[in-house]
Structures are given as structure tokens and as C-alpha cells.
Homo-oligomer: A and B are copies of this chain.
Amino acid sequence: MAVTRRRGRAAGESTAGEIRSVALDQFYKHGFQATTLRDIASRVGIQVGSLYNHITSKGELLFDIMETVMLDLLEDQRQQAQEPDVVERMRLLVYHHVRFHGDRAKEVFIGNSELRSLNRQQRARIVTLRHEYEGMFQKELEDGIRQGKFLPVDVQLTAYGILAMTTWVSSWYSPRGRLSLEEIADIYSDMVLRGIWNPAAGQLQTHLRRVGRDSAKRLLAAAATK
């Protein structure tokens, strides 16, 4: 009997790439545990057993996704950390954190919700990378406080708060939503800076991108005439 065998490849993507991309979708939609290899295989258009020509295990597939996105994020943000002014540096970190979390929402969401599904060594590796990343924000807060630009806030709590607020973008952002990713990133960077700015260090205005800059006079005037 003639057997229909999958031939050739989708344009520009290897089977391994397809598997990774389909797994990403399914892990994002249904979670790692609820996603079966049979589901992934059928969406790629191959049989379950054939998956193992490309992956070593289901768990390793998850780990690859999570490690890749963390390494990419760290690399992106190390670029921003070269800005000399501490306030601007913090603004850039927040801004690009939001951008990254919107652009790569699925991977990031998985990275934040599937730590439990990793084995001990895998989890240790990811946790190390995450600590390293959190450290970047804590360092900027400490710098800013030392320079008198930021209020002497609790560094750990503030970093957690900033990261939580901006990371959450990955769970609701849609490219077809009311606001562009750039607008969202601007709004959140402004909010963060206002939340930690030390009034004794002068005006924050020059660092803001939306409320308080171009539109500042209009907005404040509107509020005052109420």
C-alpha cells in the first residue's frame, strides 16, 4: 500500500525549527504539562516517534526555549546598560524590558510560568540567569540612590515591583491592541521614574517621554483649572 510520507520542508524553516515553534505555541496556550508530544507532532505534520530525530526529550525542549529567551534578554539589556546617565539608563532598561516582553511574549510567558516543570539542574540554571537579570535593575537603583537621583527606596522590593509590572505586559499585549508596544513601554518607563524619583534632585521632566514632557503644560493646566 502506498504510504504518504511527509516530503520537503515549509519554506525557510527546518523541521527542528517547526517543532520548536509549534511547541512554543502549545506550551503558551495550554502549558507544558497539558501539551502532548502527539499534539506537537500532528501540528508539525509528522508522527510522534519522528520527533525524536530532532529533540532529545520533551523536558529538554522546554529548557531550550527558556534558556534561549533568558540569554537573549540578558544580551539585549547589556547593550542598554552602557548608557552613562543613571536615570536614562534605568529608563532604557525598563523601556527595553517592555519591548522585549511584548515582542517575545510567548517565550517570556513560558519562562515565567514553567519553572516548576524543569528538573533540578535545569531550574538552577534558569534561576541563576534570572538572578543575574534582576541584579541589573537593583544595581541601577543603588546607583541612582547613591547619586541622589532616586529616593532611598527598598532596592529589592522596588526591583521586584518594576519587573512584575513590566513583565506582566507579556500576558496581555497584542500587536492589534489599542496602544503600540512603544507607547506602552514609554508609559511604563515614565511611571517607574516618577515612582522612584527624588524631588530633591530637581525636575524629572527631561527624562520623561509622555506625561510631563511635551504634553506636561497642557495636562497640568487642565488639572489645575478643574
Contact = CB atoms under 8 A, between A and B. Distances in A.
Interface of A: 29-31, 33-34, 113, 116-117, 145-148, 151-154, 156-158, 160-168, 172, 178-179, 184, 187-188, 191-192, 194-201, 211-212, 219-220, 222-224, 226
B157 A187 contact: yes
A226 B31 contact: no
A116 B200 contact: no
Q: How many copies does the complex hold?
A: 2
Contacts of A201: 223
B211 A224 contact: no
Contact of A223 (B157, B196, B200): B200
Contacts of A145: 223
A197 B212 CA distance: 12
A194 B116 CA distance: 35
A166 B211 CA distance: 23
Contacts of A147: 226
Nearest to A218: B152
Closest CB pairs A-B (n = 10): A164-B168, A33-B33, A195-B195, A148-B223, A161-B165, A165-B165, A148-B226, A200-B220, A164-B165, A191-B195
